[in-house]
Structure 1
């Protein structure tokens, strides 16, 4: 059954009038997903002085606007075309299958004009930009070692959830620092499921869609064979670990250089001072840095079958990376 139909239930009031909206019920008490009428979307993002553009790409534009409750939300408006509409429906089906997870950006609603041309996805607004911005742009506060380990651990829980705990396995397909949003506590939320694949067949599926992934993060095995698997996400996660450790970008446009090419020789030596971000000023745990570098090295191995599963990565971090304890503070309790 199409997931779009599977999760539809009778209309009721949430953020807008009952006649204009329906609820897709993932968690009846806390997490209703609203289906907006196109006219509601137009009023929310085009007929208000409080809306603004916060992101723009070749496929979509993202607006920040307030819902009627009021609550700030991000509206991802896809450009009209049949090809992009197909991608929108694919992303929507994946998102509707994901139950709320603290480290995956939450879908609040959507609008489908049913004309086969365009669609809108409405997400929670995550206020502190992306991990890429925090690591690579000059900001007032630099991420500490414990924060970086927290981010790695929490993202690993999100990926393990997608791979192993959803009703059908989900491959994200585009793990990268700019697809990780940070909230007020610097906790990460994985976003952008535009390249995601869902279902058991996705473990060995030859992609018929546009190329998945981003420069510096994409699995070389996928580039060679067209086959995508959970281990494709593991490879990209390994690159992200190296990025968190080193503070270097996954791909340098100016030098056309990939982080993996820079770090592989250093990983053989395992000298912490050679791989850890100098901006930390020595404020890091050397043993943890070596362990995390080893995990990253396994993730970016050429043979996908030898890469660790996300569950194994989580166990290694729980056992050998004490800073991961920073991540497991009960909800609502802040570390001091």
Structure 2
């Protein structure tokens, strides 16, 4: 599914502003230098950048030859294609162990489109970020291939294979069984723990920038792992509240302040998370052009059915057949609303979201049938964020 795109920037009001980017670049460079000098005089060590951290860990990644990966995919056979993104195709493959002793293993191999100049930047970002990051809820990068030859540039990535596809597939594909309520909550909790690690678990902040249901992959036990780090960015440092960047992402998921200003922060990921929360509640995509006009944009549609209203149940995924806790569903909707607060600073942190989802799962399990082996537990109280 080709969802990646650059948002259109607003037109400039004055022709003479053409030189402004260079001036802004110079100012940012000077400010960056000043920030570094200020930090160097402080007793607190400044956080290392992803490229700096990558230099320490790059030896952990395996470097493949193009021939190895071509053989692994039977010549990039179309029958082995399992996905397609904005910058290339993903194939299921089988690689031999580096030491030649263990059994061959299944992997996912992403091959960059040779004509994608922008894609090379995203490929490099994935190598560096996933070469540094390590968490149970992040997809594992095994290695890469980088070849510049007479037949062109070849850039490939080799990941662990995720047999149960993505959250998007299980929410929206009618060829697959309906994803049960508890399983939806467990998957989105795992995704939240992955984001919490990026935002709060490292010496620097990492902004995922493209959180959506198709980037939440599922292993053989339906454990979720965030994938596709091509758009990830380092977060602001020092006294800065955001980083300024080109506006890219996926329609329906990007935070409004990011679209309008290009100012990126962890709050942008929180907004995207709120969108996906409503996707798991409703079984609807963030944007569906095939629906009636009033229902095409998910966030606009759900506003008609507030969590505290009697009409709220009308937004719930009919494929759940009522097999969910209505009170927990309302709580999850309120959590989504807090993530979608127009004031970015009033959105909850990922650590608070993680705790809220744990409580939601606990309450759902306590309200389920006695046959599940769970004993009832006191009704927990979710962390409440401010409403939109």
1:64 aligns with 2:92: yes
Q: Which residue of 2 aligns with 1:206?
A: 244
Structure-2 change in CA distance of 1:316 and 1:268 (3 Å): closer
Q: Which residue of 2 aligns with 1:77?
A: 111
Structure-2 change in CA distance of 1:49 and 1:245 (3 Å): closer
CA separation in 1, counterparts of 2:226 and 2:365?
20
Secondary structure in 1 aligned to 2:91? Answer: strand
Secondary structure in 2 aligned to 1:109? Answer: strand
Structure-2 change in CA distance of 1:149 and 1:320 (3 Å): closer
Q: Quick check: 2:324–2:364 contact (8 Å CA) kept in 1? A: no
Q: Which residue of 1 aligns with 2:286?
A: 250
Shift of 1:148: 0.9
Shift of 1:283: 1.0
Q: Which residue of 2 aligns with 1:107?
A: 141
Q: Quick check: 1:85–1:118 contact (8 Å CA) kept in 2? A: no
Shift of 1:73: 0.3
Structure-2 change in CA distance of 1:319 and 1:62 (3 Å): closer
CA separation in 1, counterparts of 2:77 and 2:373?
38
Q: Which residue of 2 aligns with 1:259?
A: 298
Can you list the C-alpha shifts for 1:227-284, whole angstroms capped at 9, x where unaligned? 1111111001101011101111111122462111111231254444133212212111
CA separation in 2, counterparts of 1:324 and 1:78?
43
Q: Quick check: 2:235–2:265 contact (8 Å CA) kept in 1? A: no
Structure-2 change in CA distance of 1:194 and 1:270 (3 Å): farther
For the aligned residue pairs, the C-alpha RMSD in angstroms reads 2.7
Alignment size in residue pairs: 304
Match of 1:232 among 268, 272, 276: 268
- Point out the more displaced range, 36-45 or 187-196: 36-45
- Gap runs ≥5 in structure 1: 9-23, 26-32, 327-333
- Point out the more displaced range, 114-123 or 132-141: 114-123
CA separation in 2, counterparts of 1:207 and 1:148?
33
Secondary structure in 2 aligned to 1:252? Answer: coil
Shift of 1:4: 4.7
- Gap runs ≥5 in structure 2: 1-50, 97-102, 367-371, 375-388
CA separation in 1, counterparts of 2:195 and 2:373?
24
Shift of 1:55: 1.6
1:312 aligns with 2:312: no
Matches within 5 A, 1:268-307: 269-271=308-310, 272-307=312-347
